[in-house]
Amino acid sequence: MRKSSLTILLVLFCFGIRAQELPVAEQERLADSIRKTAAEQAALLYPRIRQFSITHEENGVGKIRSKVNGNDVFEGNFRSSRTRINMNMPVLQRRNNTLVASLGVIHQFYELSDITNFDSNNPVYDHSTYMPMLSTAITYIRTDSLFGKPVTITASAGSIFNPSMSRSQFTFTGIVTVPFIRTENTRLSGGAAILLDPASPVPFFLMINYYHKFRKWDMDLTVDLPSRIALRKEITPKTSLTFFNELAGNNSFFEFDKAVSLLPTDKLTLSSLEIKSGLMAEYRLTKKVIISVSGGVNNMVNSRIRENNSKPKDYFIDNKHKPVPFVQVGLSILPFWKGLDL
């Protein structure tokens, strides 16, 4: 990481001094090289923005206790696993404007066992549930200036679907960020996000993004409030270790084959919020391909079931989960396609 960062700084320095001495084509070539290097370094720090990734996550068996409309219904053991496939591909780039298309597929498996029922009129039995989901999004990013200060504007429209396309949910996110500090080793920016999402508990929140390079230990600290904290150490040019703590949410559609008297509808939405803490090891197989393995503790702090696309506060099933261990393996690809430059 130290050599890469130094290379970026040297290129920027040389480009700034000699830009007027170089032909326009050479200036563009150098600028493009800088952008590619910066994009790759960002993708190493933020796995979620890599252009392709596939991960499989296994969670340990943990206790679950469920209430319907405030009344205890059952308790038992709960286990889950997920396989995710994500693609983030730049479509167009023109000066300060970028258009990115995203596609995601998730296969989720949930298993209930050793059930103890508290309501004899509405018993729950051991069973397994499969919840596949699809997601699409188009994101527009523009870097500009406002009152002489740089600003980044992001607008993203997306949808999630079940495989039959019989149910869907539309979302829109608008984000504005402004840098406060930008030095050789430290960056600090802040901003605000607006959410048009029936599953979101809040329509607006503030964001803080902080990065610091510890030169002495060759470590990178990233803090993205309110969602993620990570400390990455490059062990060799091909291997790294990252300690992370991150917040992630999931919305999944499912339905019962026949009506259940306990439930107001057979078309349901499961919303969950998880905090994962652990350690991730990554190995660079090739210049662009990375494999990873991570493990730690998964704490499902919120798990609720509501009717179709009703608001989060209108849930009628509230599940309480105990923290469980998890392990995840993955393969991802660093940026290789910059989009059409029109």
Number of structural domains, the chain?
A: 2
Same domain, 16 and 78: no
Give the count of alpha carbons within 13 A of 284, CB side only.
Answer: 16
Structure-model confidence comparison of residues 133 and 96, the more confident one: 133
**Lowest-confidence segment of 84-88, 126-130, 264-268 by average pLDDT:** 264-268
Residue 240 corresponds to which tokens in the numbers above?
Answer: 């790294």
Helices (H), 186-266: none
pLDDT confidence of residue 21:
45
Q: 120 phi and psi, to 5 degrees?
A: -65, -20
Same domain, 240 and 318: yes
Q: Over range 122-130, report the average pLDDT.
A: 87
pLDDT confidence of residue 329:
98
Same domain, 227 and 177: yes
CA distance 24 to 63: 64
Same domain, 65 and 40: no
**Sign of torsion over alpha carbons 37, 150, 196, 316:** positive
Same domain, 84 and 38: no
Q: Over range 75-89, report the average pLDDT.
A: 95
pLDDT confidence of residue 32:
53
Same domain, 37 and 160: no
User: How many of the other CB atoms lie within 10 Å of CB of 85?
Assistant: 13
Q: Over range 162-166, report the average pLDDT.
A: 86
Same domain, 272 and 190: yes
Same domain, 24 and 150: no
Three-class DSSP category at 89: strand
- Express each pLDDT in 195-231 by its tens digit: 887 767 788 899 999 999 999 898 999 999 989 999 9
- Mean pLDDT, the chain, as a whole number? 84
Structure-model confidence comparison of residues 9 and 120, the more confident one: 120
Q: How confident is the model at residue 256 (pLDDT cuts 50, 70, 90)?
A: low
Same domain, 157 and 122: yes
Q: Assess whether pLDDT exceeds 60 at residue 327.
A: yes
Q: Over range 263-282, report the average pLDDT.
A: 87
Same domain, 10 and 156: no
pLDDT confidence of residue 265:
66
Burial of 44 (0-12, 13-18, 19+ CB in 10 A): buried
pLDDT confidence of residue 164:
85
Rg (CA), the chain: 23
Give the residue from 209, 214, 217 showing the smallest Cα distance to 179: 209
Most confident of 145-154, 311-320, 324-333: 324-333
Tell me the Ramachandran region of residue 5: left when phi exceeds 0, alpha when psi lies from -120 to 50, beta otherwise: alpha
**DSSP state letter for 286:** S
- Express each pLDDT in 22-69 by its tens digit: 454 444 444 455 466 677 888 888 888 899 999 999 999 999 999 988
Instruction: Residue 236: give the domain boundaries.
Output: 53-341
Same domain, 5 and 64: no
**Lowest-confidence segment of 1-5, 100-104, 327-331 by average pLDDT:** 1-5
Same domain, 7 and 136: no
308-341 CB burial, b ≥16 within 10 A, e <16: eeeebeebbbbbebebbebebebebbbbeebeee
User: How many of the other CB atoms lie within 10 Å of CB of 235?
Assistant: 12
